[in-house]
Amino acid sequence: MKLLILLSLFFLVPGLFVTRKAAAASRPRIFVLATGGTIAGRADTPSALTAYQAGTLRIESLLATVPPLRDIANVTGETICDIDSKDMTEEIWLRLARRVNELFAEESADGVVITHGTDTLEETAYFLNLTVKSDRPVVLTGAMRPATSLSADGPLNLLDAVRTAASPDAAGKGVLIVMNGEINAARDVAKTNTLALDAFQSPDMGLLGYVNDGIPTFYRQTRRYHTAQSEFDVTRLASLPPVKILYGHAADDALFVEAAVRAGVRGLVYAGLGNGSIPQSVETALTEAAARGVIVVRASRTGSGAVVPERSPAGSPFLSAGTLSPQKARILLQLALTRTANRSEIQRMFLEY
Ligand code: SIN
């Protein structure tokens, strides 16, 4: 009998070991690139939800808070930066885009997750949506409550983000944002609440899908160009062209337009009133700026709806942002200016991306 048990152990145990090893080898390889934010934030007490230091938890500790990750994917953590995302820079964007492109080009990753502060998450997501050259999933996630909070949302958001990045269904859908069980497209999503857990919404287009019980499910996808179809290449760029946003308001004047032109901007996005309307007092200054070669794009401060191109006919000196928010119109204009200064060519880009 003893001999029989010994013999079975001899044959079974290595078999189990090989099966487990094979299962591990077949899991998708997901890189988690950490940039900081509330998801890596630490407060003095578990009930503190706003008084905390963002971007303090190391990526290793962040991953350790989510043990089920290891059953879903072979996860590698890497730190890009440790910042509060209000301090995000274009230099970090360029570094991030290059790193993601490098991971895909050298076949090291099947998908990438980026942990990020929520304040500028939508901007980083849109920048990557236009500059990552791959159909493989890239998913940004963050948290509205610090990691030390009694009911931190970061761990589940991170788990859902890795599940989405590991899902074949997420391929070819552009850069995604996964938060609060919802999947949104980088182009359309916006942070719409200062503190709530469901802070991210796509006001015009709606979300792409849900992650329910850990299963990412898509209902639709964007028709606008992104990632592998994008014409923008930042591989060799050291910086981006200077473009500023001016926020329209009642009784506005030409002060900031003139200052921006003097400072040498190459583009201006005017977050206009209603359908991107520009007060007379500002329009003259913007027309003069356009005559001097500054590309002026009309966007809207309303938060939803399109700034219709009909208001920017061929003869008009201004372009239209369509449904892009002012902060996303700024990013597209910067990338457009890396390729051309031709107005109609740039307007084409606003219609396609
Ligand atoms: C940040 O954007 O880094 C702070 C706020 C947040 O992550 O929710």
- Binding pocket residue ranges, ligand 1, CB within 6 Å: 36-38, 54, 84-86, 117-119, 142, 144
pLDDT digits (tens, 9 = 90+) for 66-82: 999 999 999 999 999 99
Q: Furthest-apart CA pair in the chain: how many Å?
A: 97
The mean per-residue pLDDT over the stretch 149-156 comes to 96
The pLDDT score that the predictor gives to residue 236 is: 96
Determine the Cα–Cα distance for residues 197 and 286; give it in Å rounded to an integer.
Answer: 39
Ligand 1 atom closest to Cα of residue 36 = 3
Pocket test for ligand 1, best of 39, 80, 82, 119 (most atoms within 8 A of CB): 119
Beta strands in 142-225 (DSSP E): 176-179, 182-185, 190-191, 200-201, 209-212, 215-218
DSSP string, 100-127: HHHHHHTT--SEEEEE--SSSHHHHHHH
Mean residue pLDDT across the chain: 94
The mean per-residue pLDDT over the stretch 3-16 comes to 56
- Give, using CA atoms, the residue closest to atom 2 of ligand 1: 117
Ligand 1 atom closest to Cα of residue 119 = 2
pLDDT tier, 13 (very low <50, low <70, confident <90, very high otherwise)? low
The pLDDT score that the predictor gives to residue 314 is: 62
More confident residue, 319 or 311: 319
Task: Specify which of 9-23, 34-48, 300-314 reaches the highest per-range mean pLDDT.
Answer: 34-48
pLDDT tier, 31 (very low <50, low <70, confident <90, very high otherwise)? very high
Q: Over 90: is that where the pLDDT of 47 sits? A: no
More confident residue, 12 or 49: 49
Beta strands in the chain (DSSP E): 29-36, 42-43, 52-53, 74-83, 111-115, 138-141, 176-179, 182-185, 190-191, 200-201, 209-212, 215-218, 243-247, 267-272, 295-300, 318-320
pLDDT tier, 48 (very low <50, low <70, confident <90, very high otherwise)? confident
The pLDDT score that the predictor gives to residue 315 is: 74
Q: Over 60: is that where the pLDDT of 1 sits? A: no
More confident residue, 345 or 46: 345
Ligand 1 atom closest to Cα of residue 55 = 3
pLDDT tier, 10 (very low <50, low <70, confident <90, very high otherwise)? low
- Model confidence, pTM: 0.93
Determine the Cα–Cα distance for residues 92 and 90; give it in Å rounded to an integer.
Answer: 5
Query: Annotated active-site positions, please?
Result: 38
The pLDDT score that the predictor gives to residue 313 is: 53
Fold topology of 243-352: Rossmann fold (3.40.50)
Q: Give the phi and the psi of residue 269 in degrees, each rounded to 5.
A: -105, 125
The mean per-residue pLDDT over the stretch 104-110 comes to 98
The pLDDT score that the predictor gives to residue 9 is: 55
Pick the range with the lowest mean pLDDT from 24-28, 91-95, 201-205, 217-221. 24-28
Fold topology of 24-229: Rossmann fold (3.40.50)
pLDDT tier, 93 (very low <50, low <70, confident <90, very high otherwise)? very high
Domain with CATH 3.40.50.40 in the chain: 243-352
Cα(325) to centroid(ligand 1), Å: 19
Determine the Cα–Cα distance for residues 201 and 217; give it in Å rounded to an integer.
Answer: 17
The pLDDT score that the predictor gives to residue 316 is: 87
The pLDDT score that the predictor gives to residue 58 is: 95
Map residue 255 onto helix, strand or coil: helix
Domain with CATH 3.40.50.1170 in the chain: 24-229
More confident residue, 4 or 142: 142
Q: Which structure tokens are listed for 346?
A: 């740039």
Cα(35) to centroid(ligand 1), Å: 11
pLDDT tier, 346 (very low <50, low <70, confident <90, very high otherwise)? very high
Q: Over 90: is that where the pLDDT of 11 sits? A: no
The mean per-residue pLDDT over the stretch 85-114 comes to 98
pLDDT tier, 55 (very low <50, low <70, confident <90, very high otherwise)? confident
Q: Degrees (nearest 5) of the Cα angle 210, 215, 220?
A: 40
Percent of the residues in the chain that have a pLDDT greater than 90, as a whole number: 87
The mean per-residue pLDDT over the stretch 25-35 comes to 96
